[in-house]
Structure 1
Amino acid sequence: MNWKRAKTLFIFVFILVNIGLVIIYIDKVNKSHINDSEDENAVNFKQEEIKIPDNLPSVKNLKMQLLTARSNDFSDYVKGHDHLSSAQSGSLLKGDISSPIDVSNDQYTDLKSYVKDKVYKGSNYEMSQINNKNVTFEQTYNNYPIMNNNKARLQFNVNDNGKASSYKQTAMKSIEPSEGANNDEKQVITARRAIEALYYNQYLKRNDEVMNTRLGYYTVVKEPNVQVLEANWEIKVKHHNKITTYYVEAVSDSPKIIEE
């Protein structure tokens, strides 16, 4: 065996191992600095006496972008459907339910089945709000709701007997990414960062409670027939006895905030 060559090879391998260890060490140091920075910027909501939900939705590897949509015209669809009629130049569909659906005692299984099987593109809607007079569904895109939009809504009227007897529907069609060079998909910020944006902009204060957060699309440009939809976090905050809804831009490091 050539010991001189073996010694040289051993020294070379030793140097490579040490270089690798140094690289790993530097990477760990850099990551720890990043984590420290994030921890320093994070709001201690418990210390601020602000309640937030324990389990916030995950947005890992989720990217979204601006969308353009048009109002659907039901004028042709109502032809041949005796229980349906249209209004508002065809953008509003009205329907009567021949056998009213019982929604009392929080039983909505039959209503959801009716929406899926009997309503125009009903599988694209999800239940969003319930009260004594109405049950409201919102249209969705890629399983995310088009929030607080009267152009993408399905609402059932509930009579005094607790039964859904009729409904009104609007819908958006031709939903697609907006044209433009700057409309690439962008990573969605976390729900916590959206809540922190409310705090830093003084919408969220001591003794407030974040009741709910959900991700969806909010209309930022409204025209008669065309709308631009932007990814937003909808955050409901309880200020004493009043609940206020905020929409926080979900694909920006400095998100815009809209108060409803």
Structure 2
Amino acid sequence: MDWKKTETIFIIAFLILDIFLLVLFIDSRMSSAPTPLVSQTLEEKLKSENITYGKIPSNPEKGSYLSTEPIAFTQKDINGLKGQKISVMNADQRIYSVLTKPVKIDPEKYGADLLPFLKRDVFEGDRYTYWSYNADRREMTFNQKIDGRPVLFNTNGQIVFNLNKDNEVISYQQTMLGDTQLFDEKDDVISGTDALEVLHQHGDLKQNSKIVNTTLGYYNLVSLPSSDVYLPVWAFEVKHDKQTTFLLVNGLEGSVINTSDEQTNTQRQSAVSLHNEELSS
């Protein structure tokens, strides 16, 4: 018998056995190890809670805290406004106008057929943008723009058109904010998606909700004796159980804003219907 050949065969066999046992050991360790948690994306979390939404603006934005205050209208401001009987009230800070000839519009066109009248017959009318239509009160609201963005939930920068039962504008009230002053250099505003995630983490989005609209605008944070302070905010119009609410996120600090003041709550109720889809594009 060739003992050397036999010895070699045994050595090779033991090596194969060792390798086999090592593979079994590694497999058993891997199978018993805990499975790592997979982090869900925001999209997956919202889907699991049946929270639906449309297009969320994603373009980079800049903004800043700023101050402004209502202006007092002068006789010169209203002299050129034809085809209407105008009164100025509230320390000259509110125009009340009754049209000589009503203007026929279609409320479902999001104020598009009112734009010619705004530009032609309303003081600085091109500085306002469509916000909402309240069918129960027959009121169509346009909000003033600051830095290209609408002023939100503030009666000091609005035009409210009153319609009759034939969908004709018969009168309007106008207020206006004056020049703005920045508190600091413009800074980055968080994205609409990041603001949505802030709301979700804060627990403000209920299951089975629908985010109807997302708007980046300016919100009156605090009123001072000399002026009012505004900041850029993301406003989410959310429908849940046939009720509509607006949820706000500070665009600079990424925190939820508690809109509990009476003025905001009143306007949240009056802005329930028909929003301009262009605001979310």
TM interval, short-chain normalised: 0.7 to 0.9
Unaligned runs of 5+ in 1: 1-38
* Cα distance in structure 2, aligned partners of 1:190 and 1:161: 41
Shift of 1:119: 0.6
1:75 CA drift (Å): 4.0
Aligned partner of 1:119 among 117, 122, 125: 122
How far apart, CA to CA, are the structure 2 residues paired with 1:244 and 1:187? 27
1:234 alignment partner, SS class: strand
What TM-score comes out, normalization by structure 2 length?
0.70
Q: TM-score normalized by structure 1?
A: 0.76
How many Å separate the matches in 2 of 1:105 and 1:41? 41
**Which residues in structure 2 correspond to 1:27-176 (within 5 Å)?**
40=39, 42-43=41-42, 44-53=45-54, 55-60=55-60, 62-77=61-76, 80=79, 83-104=85-106, 106=108, 108-132=111-135, 133-176=138-181
The RMSD of aligned alpha carbons is 2.2
Structure in which a larger fraction of residues adopt helix = 2
Deviations 1:138-160, CA, capped at 9 Å, x for gaps: 00012210111100000111012
Looking at structure 2, the residues matched to 77 and 93 of structure 1 have their Cα atoms a distance apart, in angstroms, of: 13
Using a 3 Å threshold, how does the CA distance of structure 1 residues 97 and 223 change in structure 2: closer, same or farther? farther
> Post-superposition shift, 1:76?
3.2
Q: Which has the larger radius of gyration?
A: 2
Matched letter for residue 241 of structure 2: H
Q: From the superposition, tell whether residues 94 and 105 of structure 1 become closer, same or farther in structure 2 (CA, over 3 Å).
A: closer
Letter in 2 for 1:92: R
User: In the comparison of the two structures, how many residue pairs are matched?
Assistant: 215
How far, CA to CA, are the matches of 2:40 and 2:62 in structure 1?
Answer: 23
Could you tell me which runs of 5 or more consecutive residues in structure 2 were left unpaired when the two chains were aligned: 1-37, 260-264, 266-281
Calculate percent identity across the aligned residue pairs.
25
Q: How does 1:228-243 map to 2 (within 5 A)?
A: 228-243=229-244
Q: Is the 8 A contact 1:59 1:188 kept in 2?
A: no
**2:226 paired with 1:221:** no
